[in-house]
Amino acid sequence: MSRLSDPMLRLSDFAAQEAHRPTPRERTLFYRELRAICRWSYRHAYAWVLVTLLLCVPAFFEARKIGLDTDLTRLLPEDSAAVQWSHELEPVVGDSGYFSIIVEGADLPTLRRAVDRVAAGFHRIDGLDWIDYQYPTEFLDRYRYMLIPSARLDEMVGVIED
């Protein structure tokens, strides 16, 4: 008996097709195209890997050229007073390069020992002019210097806006 002449087989094929009617979303052009792309990418996975690598290699070499310029005076016009003073003072005081380290913890004596140890290590670095890691209380009283966690700051802004 041939496959086409078997009435049960043809009836079951028809029933299976009728059981799944495409939804309106499945009938959209986007869905059909996306499904075709997914099928093609499944069947040709090595081609996708090759295309991805071919795109990533030049991108990697271009990304290596990206630099970080922290000179904020380049954002200002050259005739700006801040830029002119900065250029004039740089040979005398050096550039304004600095960095901050924030240490957080529950045990204050341990934190102080850790900061003292880190500061002692930094003193051995050539070209480092000075380290300021102990603000006197007058500084805090005069400038009201505070470090506030961003979550707490968001909460404070919400209270102020209400």
Distance, CA of 154 to CA of 162 (rounded, Å): 12
Mean pLDDT, rounded, for 45-57: 92
What residue ranges do the domains of the chain occupy?
7-63, 98-161
The residue with greater pLDDT, 35 or 71, is 35
In sequence order, which residues have a C-beta less than 8 Å from that of residue 70 and are 6 or more positions away? Answer: 97
Residues 146-158: tens digit of each pLDDT: 666 777 778 888 8
Confidence of residue 101 (pLDDT cuts 50, 70, 90): low
The dihedral sign for the CA sequence 105, 109, 110, 116: positive
Mean pLDDT, rounded, for 65-91: 78
Ranges 26-30, 74-78, 93-97: which has the least confidence: 93-97
